Every structure is written in structure tokens, then in C-alpha cells.
């Protein structure tokens, strides 16, 4: 996964991952009206509109961005119907040649972690493999330690998948636990980062970076620069650019000296661009997303070479 | 939720929560054969057998235990079909008068956390409320801080639901992050515990305990005793009894002086009891679960009065 991801970033000259985090507020009125009148005020209607919306966005982005990151919570909100839209979105994006990073932030122990690992490795029914989920990589929470990560490492190795562990998240209250100072002079996020580097050794890629990446928020400039030095083999998935306030200057130091080592997420900034730019009507939402993604690509040139 | 939970524990004189964490290995051969031959080696077949298995277990336990805790990972493994079995299990258990604690260990920030909060508060489609999930309470991961918890606190208050935050988990590698010593002399798990006490102040119950509980593993005797003192208003959900090695003696100090304040989970020890006791054939799996739950109830009398 990590080799494919770095190659795709190079080929498209764009370290952007487009977040596919649909909400009803983001869906154009004409789509909402169409599906709510045909299917009632149901989760099925929501599934249909999320699926259609995402497919058009993916079509508009497929030649520009290397990867998409659907946030599973937005789909899970609408129960199993919503999760069908999540699966369809992952599958469609893969078919279009995009790498799919499922933002699932799961975390549990031993046999339970192994069950969650079906997101990457599938399940088995009486000897037959079921591909119950469709991601190439997923985000995970490290709070429970290596017991919860090891089942994923195995699958990363066996099937060339990837994981991204939460190290320093972009939100203000990430400080409450992650920034606490340890007796040995490190912060908690540095201890988490050290674990990720260590886990990464078990799943090397063919280049500098391992298949175990880290989530490091764009909103913490100095921390990102410091972690870049402390975690030389760990690829960064960077949320918090744009809507949350992170700028291209803020994240320049998240990249390595060759301009690699990180991919930057934008969600609403791309998918809801039509709502912010009066040049676009609501039927032009996919084209608006494409233009926003191109603008972001240009903006990121300022920081990653 | 917390008032109903403490009342139900008192009424049934049993601080046990039965973990409903089905695996194919746990399903009796006759059920596996029946559904795999009727529905093929499919996720649908797995859904049918998990649903039937759980319903019989719930029937056998409903007058003994106050609560059940389905582990969502075991269902999520089998994709949306599996999650239908999860929802059916939650709904059926509630119908039988049991309190349902969804072991989902979710954790994310702001609008994303609000989306996950649909597990407790439902979703909305064009003004109509959809009850997309069916839990009374869920477990959550605190690594991202209060941004991720606040949307749940709101729903806990509004709809009398509950949450349980991971503080000190039962697994061996929980030490890697949770046991790190902070510069102020506390451990990371104590810092997490202090946050939970604080969050709990926003969602008091009518008695001593708030609607924000904590997960504290039975495998850490001294830590549990210490946290009991540091977190006087926090109800403990205790995994790790039985299969993972925790005993009734280990957890005696997790309860308060009146024998309240904690509920102890057993999963395989109850639901797979028929596989461990030659007195039972595989068709007696529900009766075996009932006997195991009664035995556990007796065992816990040694520690909670």
C-alpha cells in the first residue's frame, strides 16, 4: 500500500487525500428532493444520495488525487444502510484507481482487534473468503497498545495493506491526553509516535516508509516538525488543513527533505466547495470539487516541492 | 441509564454483564450446518446463525443478568450483514428488559463524534428521526479528549443514555501507553480517569454515579482499587474476568463500600460454556450459558456483598 501510495502521489504530483464525509447538509437540494420523495424519509434514501454524490465526486477527482478517505462515522450514523453507501464508495473509488484510506479509528484487543482487521483482510465463512469491507488502509487508535495493532500488522504484511495510527490529532482537546508531559521528558504523543515507529519495523515498505503510518494534525506546526524528525520511517496522514485552520506553511515541515512522507486531507473544502463558491450552482457540485482540488494541489506546491 | 443499571443489578442481585461476542467457532455445529447449507457460505448465513444463537442465549439469561454487552467488532467482521445481527441482538435484548451496552470503542472529534453519537441518539432524515442503532450505552476511547466526548454527553443528558470510557484496559499491552508515568507523578490512566470524573459531572445520575462510566480491567487489581478511590462518581465496566484471568478476589476492590459501583463482564465464559462442560451437548448451549451465569453470580458474591 505505502509503495503504491507514494508512487501515486508522485505520478499525480499531488499529496492530497480527499475526505469523503457526506452529510445531508452537503447533499445538493435536487438530490435530496429526488431521493426523499422516491424512498421516503428513510436511511435507504440517504444511502442512495450519498452513493450518487460520492460517485460523481470520485469521477471528478480520479485523475487529480491519489487517494480518498471516507470517514465511516458519517455513514455509520445511518445504520446498515449508511454502511452500504460506505462500502459502495470504497469499492467505486478502488475501481477508479484510487487508494482508499478508511477513516475508522478502531481500536481493541487481541481477538477483537483481529475481527476489526476484516476491514483489510476479509472474513471467512466455512473456508470461503468474504471481502466484507473494501479499504486499502485504515486509521486506528493506539491507546490499547500493541495487542490491538498486531493483527493488523500481520495483514499489512500478508496483503500489502496499510494502517495509520492516531498520534497527535488536529482537534483542540487533543491536548488533554496527548500533550501530557511524561516523567522521561517526552509528551504522550511522542511515546505513541515511538510505538508507531517500532511497529513500522515489522511492516517495511520497499522505500523509506513503512506500512504503519501516523495521523498528525496540520493544526500543530511545531509538533509535526518535531515528529517528522523523530519518526523517519513513518508516513503522515495529515488532517486539519483548510476548514480546521491548517495552512500549507504550517505543514511544510511535515514533509521530508525530498517533499515526500505526508499526505494532506481535505474533506468539506473539496466536496462541499459548490456551497462556498457562487460561481457554481448546486448541479455543478462535482466540477466545483474538481476545481477546489486543483486549487489545493497548487496551494500544496508551496510546501512539498 | 445508570439509575436503571444500578436498580437492575440490585433487583437481580447480580453485577454481571454478559458479553455477546459470537464467533463461528462458538456457534454449535448443528446451527452452522443448517444455515450454511440453506444460505451458502455467505455473510447472510452468518447473520442468521448469530441472530438465532444470541436470541436463545438472551432468553436463557434474561432473568439472571441485568445487562448484555455485544462486542460490535465480532459482527462488523461480517460487514453489513453482520451488523444487522448486531442490531437485532441489541433490539431483542432490550425487548427482554435487558440493558444493552454496545462495546463499540469509538472515538473521533466534533462533527464526526456527533455522527457516531447516532448509536445513542439516532439520526435525522429530513426532520424524521431514524433509530439506526439500538444501544442504551456504548464504550468510547478518550485519546482525542473532550471534543469527542461532548456530543455523547449531550445525548446522555437528553435521553438518559450512558457511556463508558476506556481508562485502564485488561490486556497486557495496555501498559505501553496507559501505564506511562507523567511528570506530575500520575500515570496516563489516572489522567484519563480524572477526565472521566470531570465529564461525569456534566451528566449526573440521581444517585452516587454519573452516566459517564469507565472501563477498568479485572486483570489489574491494585490499579482498580486505586481508581475506585480516585473516581468516586464513576461506575466501572470491568472486562477481563474469567478467560483473561481476573478473579472475584481481584475485583473486590473495584466495588464501593456498599458493594455497588461496578459491573463485571464475561463473554466466552458464559456463551461458549457448552464447549467446556461435557455435561452439555451442543443443543444445550443456552442452558449451559444459564448455568455458567448462575455460577458466576455465586462467584461474584464473594466480592461485592
E strands within chain B? Answer: 16-20, 67-70, 99-106, 123-125, 128-130, 137-140, 162-168, 212-216, 236-238, 262-266
pLDDT digits (tens, 9 = 90+) for B256-265: 999 999 999 9
Whole-number average pLDDT of chain B: 96
Chain B positions in Cβ-Cβ contact with residue A73 (cut-off 8 Å): 106, 108, 112-113, 115-116
Grid cell in block for residue B225: 482499587
**What pLDDT, on the 0 to 100 scale, is given for residue A302?**
82
| CB-nearest partner of B133 from A79, A108, A192 | A79
| Interface contacts A/B by beta carbons within 8 Å | 237
Q: Which of residues 133-172 of B touch A (CB under 8 A)?
A: 133, 141-148, 166, 169-172
What's residue A305's pLDDT?
A: 58
Residue B105 falls in the annotated catalytic set: yes
More confident residue, B46 or B278: B46
| Residue B242 in this model has a pLDDT that exceeds 90 | no
Asked if pLDDT for residue B244 goes beyond 90, the answer is no
Contact partners, residue B254, CB within 8 Å, separation at least 6: B216, B218, B224, B225, B228, B236, B238, B261, B262
pLDDT, position B305: 58
Is B43–A130 a contact, with Cβ atoms under 8 angstroms apart?
A: yes
Does the pTM of the predicted model rise above 0.90?
yes
In this predicted structure, the answer to whether residue A304 has a pLDDT above a threshold of 90 is no
pLDDT at B131: 97
Q: pLDDT, tens digit, for every residue of A19-34?
A: 999 999 999 999 999 9
Q: Do A141 and B107 touch (CB under 8 A)?
A: yes
Interchain contact, B178 vs A84, CB within 8 Å: no
Q: Is residue B250 within 8 angstroms of chain A, CB to CB?
A: no
Instruction: Burial-class residue A179 by CB neighbours within 10 Å (0-12, 13-18, 19+).
Output: middle
Q: How far is B299 from chain A (nearest CA, A)?
A: 26
Percent of chain B with pLDDT over 90: 96
CA distance B176 to A150: 14
At A150 the pLDDT is 96
Of B66, B16, B7, the residue nearest B299 (C-alpha)? B16
Residues B138-155: tens digit of each pLDDT: 999 999 999 999 999 999
Q: How many CB atoms lie within 10 A of CB B302?
A: 12
Residue B304 has pLDDT above 90, yes or no: no
CB contact under 8 A, B112 and A73: yes
Q: Compare CB distances from A130 to B78, B145, B182 and report the shortest one's residue.
A: B78
Other C-beta atoms within 10 Å of B83: how many?
A: 22
Higher pLDDT, A247 or B244: A247
The CATH number of the domain where A222 resides is what? 3.20.20.70
Give the helix/strand (H/E) hosting A238: strand A236-238
Contacts with A, B 260-289, CB within 8 Å: none
- DSSP one-letter code for A60: H
Paired strand residues for B125: B128
Residue B204 burial (C-beta neighbours within 10 Å; 0-12, 13-18, 19+): middle
Closest residue on chain B to A49 (Cα):
B125
Whether B243 shows a pLDDT value over 90: the answer reads no
- Identify which of A69, A89, A86 has the alpha carbon closest to the alpha carbon of residue A78: A86
Across the interface, of B45, B125, B175, the residue whose CB is closest to A45 is B125
Helix (H) or strand (E) holding B195: helix B188-201
Residue B182 DSSP label: B
Cβ of A73 within 8 Å of Cβ of B116? The answer is yes
| H helices present in B64-185, as ranges | 72-76, 79-95, 110-116, 118-121, 150-159, 175-178
Q: How far is B132 from chain A (nearest CA, A)?
A: 5
Question: Is the pLDDT confidence value at B166 over 90?
Answer: yes
Mean pLDDT of A88-117: 97
pLDDT at A244: 81
Beta pairing partners, B236 = B214, B262
CB of A231 within 8 A of CB of A207?
no
Confidence of residue A68 (pLDDT cuts 50, 70, 90): very high
Determine the Cα–Cα distance for residues A16 and A271; give it in Å rounded to an integer: 13
User: Cβ contact (<8 Å) for A43 and B130?
Assistant: yes
State pLDDT tens for residues B112-131: 999 999 999 999 999 999 99
Average pLDDT of chain A?
A: 96
A219 to chain B, any CB pair closer than 8 A? The answer is: no
Q: Which of B202, B303, B290 is nearest to B262 (CA)?
A: B303
- pLDDT tens digits for A118-159? 999 999 999 999 999 999 999 999 999 999 999 999 999 999
The secondary structure of chain B in percent helix, strand, coil, rounded to multiples of 5, reads 50, 20, 30
- Does residue A80 contact residue B83 with C-beta atoms inside 8 Å? yes
- Tell me which chain B residue has its CA closest to the CA of residue A178: B143
The set of catalytic residues of A is 105
Does the beta carbon of B25 lie under 8 angstroms from any beta carbon of chain A? no
- Residue-wise pLDDT tens digits, B62-86: 999 999 999 999 999 999 999 999 9
Chain-centre distance for alpha carbon A39:
31
Task: Please tell me the distance from the alpha carbon of residue B123 to that of residue A76, in angstroms, as a whole number.
Answer: 10
Domain range spanning residue A257? 2-304
Interchain pair A169, B118: CB under 8 A: no
Please name which of A194, A81, A68, A89 lies closest in space to residue A133, comparing C-alpha atoms.
Answer: A89
Which residues in chain A touch residue B143, judged by CB atoms under 8 angstroms apart?
A: 141-143, 166, 169, 177-178
ipTM: 0.97
Q: What is the pLDDT of residues A207-261, one digit of tens each?
A: 999 999 999 999 999 999 999 999 999 999 999 998 788 899 999 999 999 999 9
Taking the Cβ of residue B14 and every Cβ of chain A, the question of whether any pair is shorter than 8 Å is answered with no
Give the pLDDT score at A303: 79
C-alpha cell at A78: 445511518
CA distance B140 to chain A (A): 10
CB of B198 less than 8 A from some CB of A: no
Interface contact A305, partner B, CB < 8 A: no
Query: Looking at the partner chain, which of B42, B76, B125 has a beta carbon nearest the beta carbon of A115?
Result: B76
First to last CA, chain A: 23
Of A60-64, B4-8, B275-279, least confident by mean pLDDT is B275-279
Q: How far apart are CA B249 and CA A43, in angstroms?
A: 48
> What per-residue confidence (pLDDT) applies to A245?
86
Sort out which chain B residues have CB atoms less than 8 A from A166's CB and list them.
Answer: 143-144
Domain count, chain A: 1
Catalytic residue among B12, B96, B105, B208: B105
pLDDT at A100 over 90: yes
Determine the residue of chain B that is closest to A192 in CA distance.
Answer: B177
Residue of A nearest to B76 (CA): A116
Amino acid at each position: 500500500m505505502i509503495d503504491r501510495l507514494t508512487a501515486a502521489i508522485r505520478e499525480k504530483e499531488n499529496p492530497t487525500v480527499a475526505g469523503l464525509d457526506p452529510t445531508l447538509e452537503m447533499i445538493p437540494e435536487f438530490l435530496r428532493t429526488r431521493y426523499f420523495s422516491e424512498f421516503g424519509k428513510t436511511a435507504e434514501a440517504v444511502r442512495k444520495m450519498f452513493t450518487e454524490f460520492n460517485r460523481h465526486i470520485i469521477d471528478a477527482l480520479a485523475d487529480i488525487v491519489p487517494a480518498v478517505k471516507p470517514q465511516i462515522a458519517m455513514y455509520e450514523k445511518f445504520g446498515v444502510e449508511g454502511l452500504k453507501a460506505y462500502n459502495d464508495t470504497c469499492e467505486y473509488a478502488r475501481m477508479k484507481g484510487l487508494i482508499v484510506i478508511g477513516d475508522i479509528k478502531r481500536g481493541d484487543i487481541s481477538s477483537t482487534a483481529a475481527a476489526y482487521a476484516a476491514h483489510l483482510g476479509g472474513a471467512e465463512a466455512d473456508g470461503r473468503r468474504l471481502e466484507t469491507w473494501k479499504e486499502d488502509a485504515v486509521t486506528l487508535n493506539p491507546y490499547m497498545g500493541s495487542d490491538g495493532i498486531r493483527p493488523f500488522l500481520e495483514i499489512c504484511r500478508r496483503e500489502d495493506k496499510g494502517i495509520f495510527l492516531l498520534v497527535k490529532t488536529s482537534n483542540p482537546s487533543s491536548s488533554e491526553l496527548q500533550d501530557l508531559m511524561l516523567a522521561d521528558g517526552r509528551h504522550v504523543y511522542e511515546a505513541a509516535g515511538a510505538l508507531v515507529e517500532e511497529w513500522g519495523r515489522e511492516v517495511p515498505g520497499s522505500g523509506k516508509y513503512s506500512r504503519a503510518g501516523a495521523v498528525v494534525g496540520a493544526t500543530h506546526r511545531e509538533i509535526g516538525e518535531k515528529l517528522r524528525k523523530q519518526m523517519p520511517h513513518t508516513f503522515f496522514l495529515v488532517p486539519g488543513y483548510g476548514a480546521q485552520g491548517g495552512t500549507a506553511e504550517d505543514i511544510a515541515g511535515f514533509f521530508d527533505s525530498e517533499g515526500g512522507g505526508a499526505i494532506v486531507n481535505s474533506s468539506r473544502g473539496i466536496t462541499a466547495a459548490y456551497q462556498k463558491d457562487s460561481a457554481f450552482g448546486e448541479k455543478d457540485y462535482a466540477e466545483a470539487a474538481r476545481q477546489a482540488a486543483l486549487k489545493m494541489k497548487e496551494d500544496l506546491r508551496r510546501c512539498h516541492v
